[in-house]
């Protein structure tokens, strides 16, 4: 089977690693599988590991390359002249490249894009409906929401779709009750590129980052649904209690470097512009990190926390469980689904209640022997569900799509 694996949206973090690991696992699953991986130029910088996978031919989408000055001028002129076809050259390039030489086309980020018009079967993963909600700051324009309300229905009606949680299917049914064909649930495995981390490598990376203190980590971009503000308040409350003076809160992900160094306060983080001693700060934003560095940071955390108020799954927690690192996460339906799917163990808190978050963090750290046991149990459970099972389930969807085209 020849698959066009189309990673055309500029994404990062868990989405990039999801695509990388699924692609790698598919070609390892069946010797007949060949993949042309069409990728956004910026994504390749985040997952250079793609280039070393056998039977995967990486093709950078030319329409995603940065425009030259002349190109920008021509684009502006065409837009002003009313030529709207140039507003989405990426879709046009995909429709031109992905033809009948492929058995199936797969889109790992179908939930955020229009459905291309192709002559071959299409499979898309609908991760969530984040763009449908407003969490206090506009991320997606009203026009984009209107457009996606149409495109999501096209995806579900016009081909095979997959999602990573039953909660997402239930939400699709709530938002689009007129649709008769909803996504198939395929739970994914941890999106960890380096499943084991040597002590030497950990020491090297932590030394480079000047990390020699116990820390709680939250990997997540600075979008409002990640709920950083309530976490900052909770961490402030925790730091007022005896025994937690040495702990730092580390943040990673897109734009997390905006904090750089700071001190958690009740209503946010007070930024510190000059650091003379590590006691000058207790919150540190490291920005977006490479796959190797984020794996080391998670593997060496005392605790991983995720206060998100809306997600499809909790990939940071899944990555922590891979290493046996204990977690404290939001008590929301998709996060609870991990318990049902794998039998993992975690501490749960009300993400809208900073006091409850602080109490749960305190309980985890004060009874750390039991907390570590939860992490080990979760690690053992996650070993039972690897990417080979994920790939096998996706391959079945691909075969069904081809057979029923």
Task: Tell me the H-state helices in 141-198.
Answer: 142-158, 166-175
Same domain, 152 and 272: no
Residue 7 near residue 112, CB atoms below 8 Å = no
Residue 266 near residue 239, CB atoms below 8 Å = no
Same domain, 296 and 163: no
pLDDT the model gives residue 338: 95
Asked if residue 278 belongs to a domain, the reply is yes
Same domain, 231 and 369: yes
Rounded-to-integer distance, Cα 161 and Cα 401, Å? 10
**Tens-of-pLDDT digits for all 405 residues of the chain?**
999 999 999 887 888 899 999 999 999 999 999 999 999 999 999 899 999 999 999 999 999 998 665 555 555 555 555 554 445 899 999 999 999 999 999 999 999 999 999 999 999 999 999 999 999 988 899 999 999 999 999 999 988 999 999 999 999 999 999 999 999 999 999 999 988 889 999 999 999 999 999 999 999 999 999 999 999 999 999 999 999 999 999 999 999 999 999 999 999 999 999 998 989 999 999 999 999 999 999 999 999 999 999 999 999 999 999 999 999 999 999 999 999 999 999 999 999 999 999 999 999 999 999 999 999 999 999 999 999 999 999 999 999 999 997
Same domain, 124 and 240: no
Strands (E), 283-394: 283-285, 303-306, 327-330, 347-349
Same domain, 137 and 278: no
CA distances to 88, 104, 118, 221 from 63, rounded to whole Å, are 9, 22, 18, 26
pLDDT the model gives residue 74: 57
Strand, helix or coil at 301? coil
Same domain, 305 and 399: no
Same domain, 273 and 178: no
Residue 48 near residue 37, CB atoms below 8 Å = no
Rounded-to-integer distance, Cα 194 and Cα 186, Å? 22
Same domain, 96 and 120: yes
Same domain, 165 and 303: no
pLDDT the model gives residue 87: 52
Contacts of 211 (CB under 8 A, 6+ apart): 250
CA distances to 57, 58, 62 from 53, rounded to whole Å, are 8, 9, 21
Strands (E), 207-333: 215-219, 248-252, 261-265, 268-271, 283-285, 303-306, 327-330
Same domain, 166 and 217: no
Asked if residue 217 belongs to a domain, the reply is yes
- The CATH number of residue 233's host domain is 3.40.50.2000
Four-point Cα dihedral 175, 180, 186, 187, nearest 10: 30
Asked if residue 109 belongs to a domain, the reply is yes
First-last CA distance in the chain: 14
Same domain, 265 and 348: yes
Range of the domain at 321: 199-383
Rounded-to-integer distance, Cα 304 and Cα 41, Å? 31
Same domain, 377 and 391: no
Rounded-to-integer distance, Cα 21 and Cα 19, Å? 6
Rg (CA), the chain: 22
DSSP bridge pairs for 306: 329
Rounded-to-integer distance, Cα 221 and Cα 253, Å? 5
Asked if residue 194 belongs to a domain, the reply is no
Angle CA 111–63–44, to nearest 5: 70
Residue 312 near residue 164, CB atoms below 8 Å = yes
Count the Cβ atoms, other than its own, within 10 Å of residue 140.
15
Asked if residue 124 belongs to a domain, the reply is yes
- State the helix-helix crossing angle for 315-323 and 13-29, rounded to 10 degrees: 60
Asked if residue 220 belongs to a domain, the reply is yes
What are the two backbone dihedrals, phi and then psi, of residue 110, each rounded to the nearest 5 degrees?
A: -65, -20
DSSP bridge pairs for 124: 107, 161
Number of domains in the chain: 2
Asked if residue 373 belongs to a domain, the reply is yes
β-sheet with 2-7: strand ranges across: 56-60, 34-39, 2-7, 104-107, 122-125, 160-163, 184-185
pLDDT the model gives residue 13: 81
Q: What is the number of alpha carbons within 13 Å of residue 122 lying toward its C-beta? A: 24
């Amino acid at each position: 089977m020849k698959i066009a694996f189309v990673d055309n949206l500029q994404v990062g973090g868990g989405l990039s690693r999801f695509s990388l690991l699924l692609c790698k696992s598919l070609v390892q699953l069946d010797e007949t599988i060949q993949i042309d991986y069409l990728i956004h130029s910026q994504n390749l910088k985040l997952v250079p590991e793609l280039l070393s996978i056998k039977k995967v031919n990486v093709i950078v989408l030319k329409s995603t390359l940065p425009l030259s000055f002349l190109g920008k001028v021509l684009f502006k002129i065409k837009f002003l002249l009313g030529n709207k076809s140039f507003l989405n050259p990426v879709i046009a390039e995909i429709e031109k490249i992905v033809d009948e030489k492929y058995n199936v086309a797969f889109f790992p980020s179908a939930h955020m894009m229009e459905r291309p018009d192709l002559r071959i079967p299409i499979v898309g993963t609908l991760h969530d409906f984040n763009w449908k909600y407003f969490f206090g700051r506009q991320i997606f324009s009203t026009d984009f929401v209107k457009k996606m309300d149409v495109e999501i229905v096209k995806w579900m009606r016009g081909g095979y779709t997959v999602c990573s949680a039953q909660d997402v299917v239930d939400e699709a049914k709530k938002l689009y009750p007129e649709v008769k064909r909803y996504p198939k649930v395929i739970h994914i495995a941890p999106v960890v590129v380096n499943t084991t981390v040597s002590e030497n490598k950990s020491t090297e990376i932590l030394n480079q980052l000047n990390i020699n203190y116990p820390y709680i980590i939250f990997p997540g971009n600075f979008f409002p649904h990640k709920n950083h503000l309530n976490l900052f308040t909770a961490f402030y409350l925790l730091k007022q209690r005896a025994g937690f003076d040495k702990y730092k809160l580390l943040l990673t992900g897109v734009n997390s470097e905006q904090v750089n160094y700071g001190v958690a306060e009740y209503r946010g983080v007070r930024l510190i512009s000059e650091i003379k001693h590590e006691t000058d700060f207790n919150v540190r934003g490291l920005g977006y990190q490479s796959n190797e560095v984020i794996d080391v940071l998670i593997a060496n955390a005392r605790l991983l926390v995720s206060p998100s108020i809306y997600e499809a799954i909790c990939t940071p927690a899944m990555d922590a469980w891979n290493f046996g690192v204990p977690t404290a996460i939001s008590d929301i339906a998709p996060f609870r689904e991990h318990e049902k799917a794998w039998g993992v163990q975690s501490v749960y808190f009300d993400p809208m209640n900073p006091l409850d978050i602080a109490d749960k963090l305190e309980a985890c750290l004060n009874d750390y022997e039991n907390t570590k046991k939860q992490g080990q149990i979760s690690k053992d459970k996650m070993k039972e569900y690897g990417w080979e099972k994920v790939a096998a389930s996706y391959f079945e969807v691909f075969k069904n799509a081809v057979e029923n085209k």
